[in-house]
Amino acid sequence: MLRYTAKRTGLAVLNLLIVMVAMYAMVFLVPGDPASVALGPRATPALKAELVTRMGLDQPIWRQVWNFFANAVQGNLGYDVWSGRPVLDQILEAFPNTLILGGVALGWALVLGVALGCLAVVWRGGVLDTLLGLLSVSMIAVPSFVIAIYALLVFAVWLNWLPAIGAGTAGDIGSQVRALILPSFAIGITWVGYLARLVRASMLEVMGEAHIRTARAFGLSEFRIVTRYALRLAIIPTLAVLAVGFGSILSAAVFVETVFSRPGIGTLIISAVAKRNYPLVMGTTLFMTAFYLFIVTAADLVIARLDPRVRDVFRGG
């Protein structure tokens, strides 16, 4: 286990380093220096010169690369081209909002998805199973930002039940919860179907195993077998998918935050892309990649702990 942990963590760090190099190279491979691209064609030479100095573009390239790495390791991701504020400050300000949104969306989707998946296994081949199969595919197929726009139209504009924009007023939990309902619905709904299907498939795989047959021979009810014995094993692949699915939750969040003008990583990076605010875009991408790698690595380690067979993956080479 220790060896697996070390190898898995080492791989994640290596991945992050390659991503950092790729991001840095990308900025330099395009024609024109980042300062003039960021400022646009109408920038005065004086303004440009100032930005070049501020971004450290006048220094030799090896020095720049070194600075980039040294700063990133110390948590300095550079400064906003326009406001001069540290990039990390802005990220840390926006990140909790996105984390809450993703967490709530995933939370309700997980509860409902696992429950529906279990029911589909208990009554497999029945009407609910068929209906759920069809519904889960449609749920996956409908883009979350379209759901977000339709939900906004119906529940915020027509019925006026819930707020259309923002994340609620600070300190007022009630308004914050109300502002969360529609966005988390739009992100979570696609996951309900996906998780239900996944739980169903991995559970059916488990259902043929010897210990389930034993439980059945002992006369346990189908419901008890599913919830007590099959779910425990079937949850492992679900965990793996959830960790990898963080990426798609994040992209859903980017769109949904924009639709609801909700402060978060999505609205932050979209406004930065529109203004070609390099340091902010690169910093956010790097930060989220690091976070994503952390989640995936942590999930892999948890899975390896739960299922010893996984650890052998690295052993064969």
Write out the residues near other proteins by the rule CB under 8 A: 11-12, 14-16, 18-19, 22-23, 26-27, 30, 37, 133-134, 137-138, 140-143, 145-146, 149-150, 152-153, 157-158, 197-198, 201-202, 204-205, 207-208, 246-248, 250-251, 254-255, 258-259, 269-270, 272-274, 276-278, 281-282, 284-285, 288-289, 292-293, 296
* Residues 155 and 182: beta-carbon distance below 8 Å: yes
Least Å distance between CB 173 and other proteins? 28
Phi, psi of 79 (to 5 degrees): -125, 145
Among 250, 291, 265, which residue's Cα sits nearest to residue 19? 291
Cβ distance to other proteins smaller for residue 176 or 216: 216
Report the Cα–Cα distance between both ends of the chain, in Å, rounded: 16
Helix (H, G, I), strand (E, B) or coil at 79: strand
Cβ distance to other proteins smaller for residue 179 or 243: 243
DSSP 250: H
Cβ distance to other proteins smaller for residue 245 or 304: 245
Q: What is the CB-side half-sphere exposure of residue 47 using CA atoms within 13 A?
A: 12
Cβ distance to other proteins smaller for residue 177 or 271: 271
Cβ distance to other proteins smaller for residue 109 or 147: 147
Q: What tokens does 274 get? A: 């529109």
Least Å distance between CB 137 and other proteins? 6
* Residues 244 and 191: beta-carbon distance below 8 Å: no
Cβ distance to other proteins smaller for residue 86 or 133: 133
Least Å distance between CB 172 and other proteins? 25
Least Å distance between CB 89 and other proteins? 19
Least Å distance between CB 176 and other proteins? 23
Least Å distance between CB 62 and other proteins? 22
DSSP 14: H
Cβ distance to other proteins smaller for residue 92 or 146: 146
Least Å distance between CB 291 and other proteins? 9
DSSP 227: I
Q: Which residue has the tokens 């109408």?
A: 42
Question: What's 84-143 look like in SS3?
Answer: CCEHHHHHHHHHHHHHHHHHHHHHHHHHHHHHHHHHHHHCCCCHHHHHHHHHHHHHHHCC
